[in-house]
Amino acid sequence: MTTRIERLEVHDVRFPTATAGDGSDSINRADYSACYVELFTDGGPTGTGFTFTGGRGTEICVQAVKAFEHLVVGKTVEEIFANPVEFSRSIIQEPQIRWLGPEKGATHMAVGAIVNAVWDLRAKLEGKPMWRLLAEMDSAELAAQIDYRHIEDELTYDEAVAILEEGRIGYEDRLKVLETDGFPAYTTSVGWLGYSDEKVRALTEQAVAEGWTAAKMKVGSSDVADDVRRAAIIRDVLGPDRLLMMDANQIWSVPEAIKNMQELAAFDPYWIEEPTHPDDILGHAKIAKAVAPIRVATGEVAANRVIFKQLLQAEAIKVCQIDACRVGGIPEVLATLLMAAKHGVDVCPHSGGVGLCEYVQHLGMFEYLRVGKTLEGRMIEYVDHLHEHYTDPVTVVDGRYRLPTQPGYSVTLKPESIAEFSFPNGPAWNA
């Protein structure tokens, strides 16, 4: 029996988060939004995926998805996974659309939404949550999902198989850890840049009371003295034993990053995230050397596996922050996880936004089970926004993600939420 994709629908779904300062950082004052894809089948389940956006611009991703529609509709799930690299390349390397990237920006994000929807469909057909589908998959089949073109100087098919095979050792013990304890998380909800000092203190106190042991704040104010003041508030509440991470969201030049972190080092930051332009590989490497032992973390807007390859080869990062939908879907994430494992770099998925927590919980758990094989240095970001709009929202208890149990990738939006927040005609945008 085969399952054919008969129709693709794509929605521009936007949530008005900017007015409250939620999600605010050194650059962004965005409305958390999603270019949301649904793949309808001939009697089977519906595959869903999205790419996260910041409001205006979502319409560009929507049009990019429509440009690829003819390459997806009519195909069966079985033929896609019989030759997954050929399928991915048919979209990513579509010769005329590719010129708009290549493999970056709105077109590549559209690819990620489509490919993730295909994987969601497969997981639902097999009746497994995504983490389990990946973790139980044969090593050779998993390795065959990856396009090694342009990264084979860093990762080969045989190396991928070897890493994944080694990941079978102790698998059941690691699974029991997740079933019993969950996966470590940290909260970013305490320190958005648009929050008042009073709100930052209150939210940090609330986080400590709820049992959080790690929190992240946004830095990159127009005056570093503002960052210093807010860091002092958060560190005062956290005390010396909880982790404090900092995120500049790309605002600084290389010299600014080094200088500002000299001032912020007094608050014992565990890492500085996105200290400069995301494509500046050598700049990240220079910062990493200058600010050590503070770790440099990045990856949420790293456009593709080739950028990650260079970050790792240049020893520019100590924390690899995979994003579920910035790159071309699960196959490209797999490539990044395996390269990070070769370099012994910790993986802490980027999350927050809308639906990113739902997505990346599966990836972090899979990485622990079959690739990295340790929770040391591992945390998944958590932001307490917009989970109520999903049919299978994340469960976080005592600062730890709990294993998802429903089939799929956990990113299916409720129909009423699509209707309410569709842009520009949804009631939320016409009130």
Residues with active-site annotation: 218, 350
| Helix and strand counts by DSSP (H, E) for the chain | 17, 13
DSSP code for 329: S
Q: Which residue has the tokens 């990240």?
A: 284
In angstroms, the CA 328 to CA 113 distance is 8
Beta pairing partners, 390: 413
- Peptide bond connecting 424 to the previous residue in cis, omega within 30 degrees of 0: yes
Cα dihedral 49, 408, 397, 348 sign:
negative
3-state secondary structure of 48: strand
Which tokens belong to 426? 């949804």
Quote the Cα angle for 252-59-429, to 5°: 95
Question: What does each C-alpha distance from 164 to 176, 257, 347, 378 come to in angstroms?
Answer: 19, 37, 16, 18
Strands (E), 275-407: 295-298, 319-320, 346-347, 380-382, 396-397, 400-401
Residue 138's region, left for phi above 0, alpha for psi from -120 to 50, else beta, is beta
Nearest Cα to Cα of residue 25 among 192, 234, 200, 272: 192
Alpha helices in 128-196 (DSSP H): 130-135, 139-143, 157-166, 171-181
Nearest Cα to Cα of residue 326 among 297, 360, 288, 295: 360
3-state secondary structure of 272: strand
Nearest Cα to Cα of residue 246 among 272, 266, 225: 272
The amino acid at residue 95 is P
For the stretch 166-187, what's the b/e string if a residue is b when 16 or more beta carbons lie within 10 angstroms of its beta carbon?
Answer: ebeeeeeebbeebeeebbbbbb
- Give, to the nearest 10 degrees, the angle between helix 105-126 and helix 58-68: 60
